[in-house]
């Protein structure tokens, strides 16, 4: 139990999934950044999505032994994808608030303190997030900050065309996530569909206007962002959201046209568009 002024911060579970392609050094740094929070978690749920490499298993075993009281491992025999893996993790979480973390990002020390304080100050909130600092994995230099809308009404409007939360930063109320059925089984962009289901069900959200998570960028990132695989996934998730009735035809088509343009145009141009219009 921790209090800040007159507010008592809620206890929380960290939820992370990992699969065999993750780099051991990235997983180690990511887990460590969450365990070393100024307001540390009461529970750390790590979902192993399929069999891991020996090196990854060593990392997992090391943390499990050192943090035996709070570390909970959920193992899935075969790789089922992030959505289904995260749902297994949500089931395993013991506390009312869940903080998501990707297995290759870095949370700054006060991330969870600030998000839990926001929940304490505004107990009607169901989901919170923060800005993200993108950094060069080779040089550690900051590339840019990904900004998102702050207040609930702005989040609702923004969500019609793009994800109003940086997926690496969200923390949410477990009961609300369970109410909507958790994540879908989409292989990519499942986080966007999850957020729109939450908002459609009446969830209230807010972002903290501060970069509290660092996101790795390397030479492969631009290739992935303009790949046909990601483009198809983006269009598919928007189609699913459209069929749910959350967005209209215009809100479905406009971002899809932009994404197709980014796929077709040269990489240098798409990188410029990405930084100029899709970043703060």
194, 183 contact by CB (below 8 A): yes
Compute the distance between CA of residue 61 and CA of residue 234 in angstroms, rounded to an integer: 35
CATH fit for domain 2-218, picks 3.90.550.10, 2.10.109.10, 3.30.360.10, 3.30.930.10:
3.90.550.10
**3-class DSSP state of 187:** coil
For residue 72, the 8-state DSSP code is E
| Tokens 């969870």, residue located | 112
Handedness of CA 64, 166, 13, 113 (dihedral sign): positive
CA distances from 250 to 163, 236, 247, 261 (A): 16, 15, 8, 17
10-residue mean pLDDT series, the chain (280 residues): 86 96 95 97 97 96 95 95 95 97 96 98 97 90 92 96 94 97 88 96 97 85 66 88 92 81 65 52
Can you tell me the distance from the alpha carbon of 12 to that of 98, in angstroms, rounded to the nearest whole number? 6
Dist CA 152 CA 137 (whole Å): 33
What's the confidence (pLDDT) of residue 221? 62
Strand partners, 142: 135
pLDDT reported for residue 268: 63
d(CA 192, CA 41): 25
Kindly report the pTM of this predicted structure. Answer: 0.91
First to last CA, the chain: 36
- What gap in Å lies between CA 240 and CA 53, rounded to an integer? 34
Q: Using one digit for the tens of pLDDT, what is the confidence trace for 206-258?
A: 999 999 999 988 766 655 666 777 788 888 989 999 999 999 998 888 888 87
What number of residues does the chain have?
280
Residues whose CB falls within 8 Å of the CB of residue 34, separated by 6 or more in sequence, listed in order: 14, 16, 41, 44, 99, 101, 107, 112
35 DSSP 8-state letter: H
Per-domain residue ranges of the chain: 2-218, 221-280
At 275 the pLDDT is 56
Residue 265 has what pLDDT? 66
Instruction: Quote the tokens at residue 253.
Output: 């088509």
What separation in angstroms does the CA of 249 have from each of 157, 244, 263? 15, 12, 21
Distances (CA, A) of 125 to 69, 116, 120, 152, 171: 29, 11, 9, 9, 10
Which residue in the block uniquely carries the two structure tokens 């990904």? 146
Give SS3 for 124: coil
């Amino acid at each position: 139990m921790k209090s800040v002024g007159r507010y008592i911060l809620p206890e929380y579970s960290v939820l992370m999934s990992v699969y065999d392609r993750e780099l051991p050094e990235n997983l180690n740094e990511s887990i460590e950044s969450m365990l070393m929070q100024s307001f540390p978690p009461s529970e750390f749920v790590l979902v192993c999505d399929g069999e891991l490499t020996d090196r990854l298993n060593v990392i997992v075993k090391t943390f499990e032994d050192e943090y035996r009281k709070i570390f909970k491992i959920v193992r899935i025999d075969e790789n089922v994808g992030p959505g289904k893996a995260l749902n297994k993790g949500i089931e395993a979480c013991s506390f009312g608030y869940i903080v998501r973390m990707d297995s290759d990002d870095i949370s700054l020390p006060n991330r969870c303190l600030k998000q839990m304080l926001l929940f304490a100050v505004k107990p009607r909130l169901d989901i919170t997030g923060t800005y993200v600092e993108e950094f060069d994995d080779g040089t550690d230099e900051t590339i840019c900050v990904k900004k998102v809308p702050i207040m609930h009404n702005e989040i609702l409007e923004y969500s019609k065309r793009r994800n109003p939360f940086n997926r690496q930063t969200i923390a949410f109320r477990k009961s609300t996530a369970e109410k909507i059925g958790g994540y879908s089984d989409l292989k990519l962009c499942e986080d966007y569909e999850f957020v729109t289901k939450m908002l459609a069900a009446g969830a209230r959200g807010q972002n903290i206007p501060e970069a509290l998570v660092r996101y790795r960028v390397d030479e492969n990132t631009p290739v992935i962002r303009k790949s046909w695989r990601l483009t198809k996934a983006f269009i598919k998730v928007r189609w699913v959201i459209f069929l749910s009735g959350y967005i209209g035809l215009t809100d479905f088509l406009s971002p899809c046209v932009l994404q197709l343009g980014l796929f077709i145009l040269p990489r240098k141009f798409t990188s410029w568009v990405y930084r100029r219009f899709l970043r703060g």
